[in-house]
Structure 1
């Protein structure tokens, strides 16, 4: 039987409904390897590249550059040498019928909801089939649950997932003073307490990595695996300037300059990402909440948190993923990490591996879950 593989507009983010083809990185007739970057697509959140799901030849480009199409639309066709033109035509026709049937319609769009916790609310987004065990995504400083738009949808095809806005971010209310990290960890734990009857597979980025480590240390019997992406708390070094400049940026150009430091490839930042961050930062109480969190992360002498002892005391598998071009939290020396922790560095990636190397990150998360 001939191999015919569809290249489709992906669902990056649970609320994504369409994407715009900005560039084909290969031509019709080119030989393609599985995992090769073949197509650049822009959404309202970010611009990212799509990797080939199979090896073969790109036999047909269906959506040309500049085309905006719904999630699930057929963009191209990859085949083996045995596939005939007639088979490809029939495949394309059948795919058009499938899309028109509404298989990717609005019914598949998930909506966030808030959960009451002591002192406020936590905003969260659930996706995936009902199961006892859950992947819990915890974003970093200044982010929100949309940080995981390239990760939650594909993982939700295999396991139930929950992405949260940390307190003081997105649509979650801030916590009051004191030990802010501990209070944030406690609020997140309380928000999912009744939603997750089984084990938690924690995935935390940057500041969210420290939150995940604290939750795992506080509830070791409840946490099955820990995947940390460029977490704070494993060295003294970090860019305090990033925290200060992010809090201070009140206009588009200064904020864009700050956000560009997060990526090895700043072109992934869209206007909507900048405008959305600005709108969030202008909400009442947000600047104060962010300043308080920034002050718990680092001062002029470097990082203030340490999660090394927390990780050393865990029995569950712990994987660290780090971009080699991280300008915010540099890759730590592997020799300084707890013995049971696995460190994987990613070339040509900055502080946002979950966006710049999403396929690799998703595979690593699933591998770590399988170790549990």
Structure 2
């Protein structure tokens, strides 16, 4: 527990709890593993829980290049190797949702199941065009779309401060990796053929029923399903942590039978 040297980076992680199943918790763009603080106490009652700061984020080291989802996913495979974890349930929010889906596609033997939280993939073309047009917009302004009137002020402030502390070049490279990079799956056209390659069970939380309906048509495993919480902000798991952990725990119990 602490830091692990993985290729060209030093990743901060925590490793708590025990059990036959390991949860790998992956945060979103411009955040860090503190994002999972409301959920870890519940999860460690049943599972081994690894929460990691992605390269360039939080307490992990920062490189000038490689700060994009494909490289971040490979970092996590190397971390799992070091920790002796053969298979995990990969849980990811936003950009983390992209990363855990990449793990499921590129390293299927390592992933038992995927839990995505308002993941950063499969958006309609008009949303993708808007995101690309905002590339030069300060991160704290981009972040404003993440909230609704019901989003608590403390959550807005926590993420504002976290974004201000993340190196700008990391934010830019990661942002490009989501929306316009050669391996980006931000658009539906790019996401659809890629996500259908996930063979494991998938549980995805969405705030938009149209997104939930869209992804439901891509599932290949019969235990997969979507949950839609309308009215919640982009960080719905932080706004409703007890309900989120309850739903995840119940679903994992169902698919383990």
Interval containing the TM-score (normalised by the shorter chain): 0.7 to 0.9
Question: How far apart in 1 are the matches of 2:237 and 2:156?
Answer: 19
Question: How far apart in 1 are the matches of 2:204 and 2:233?
Answer: 14
In the TM superposition, what are the counterparts of 1:1-372 in structure 2 within 5 Å? Answer: 113-129=2-18, 131-174=19-62, 177=65, 180-236=68-124, 237-238=127-128, 240=131, 244=135, 248-249=138-139, 255=140, 258-264=142-148, 265-269=150-154, 273=158, 276-277=161-162, 280-281=165-166, 286-299=167-180, 303=186, 306-324=190-208, 331=212, 333-334=214-215, 336-340=217-221, 341-370=224-253, 371-372=255-256
Change (3 A) 1:132 1:193: farther
Q: Could you tell me which runs of 5 or more consecutive residues in structure 1 were left unpaired when the two chains were aligned.
A: 1-111, 250-254
Give the number of the structure whose residues are more often helix, by fraction.
2
- Say if 1:168 and 1:174, in contact at 8 Å, map to a contact too: yes
Q: Could you tell me which runs of 5 or more consecutive residues in structure 2 were left unpaired when the two chains were aligned.
A: none
* 4+ residue runs over 6 A deviation: none
Q: TM-score, normalised by structure 2?
A: 0.81
- Say if 1:133 and 1:198, in contact at 8 Å, map to a contact too: no
Question: How far apart in 2 are the matches of 1:271 and 1:215?
Answer: 29
- Say if 2:30 and 2:171, in contact at 8 Å, map to a contact too: yes
Change (3 A) 1:176 1:362: same
Equivalent position SS for 1:193: helix
Question: How far apart in 1 are the matches of 2:246 and 2:194?
Answer: 25
Change (3 A) 1:344 1:278: closer
Equivalent position SS for 2:82: coil
Aligned length, in residue pairs? 244
Per-residue CA deviations over 1:94-138 (Å, capped at 9, x if unaligned) read: xxxxxxxxxxxxxxxxxx611101011111122213x45310001
Equivalent position SS for 1:355: helix
CA RMSD of the aligned region, Å? 3.0
Shift of 1:220: 1.3
Shift of 1:356: 1.5
Question: How far apart in 2 are the matches of 1:270 and 1:342?
Answer: 27
Give the number of the structure whose residues are more often strand, by fraction.
1
Higher normalized contact order (CA 8 Å, seq sep 6+, divided by chain length): 2
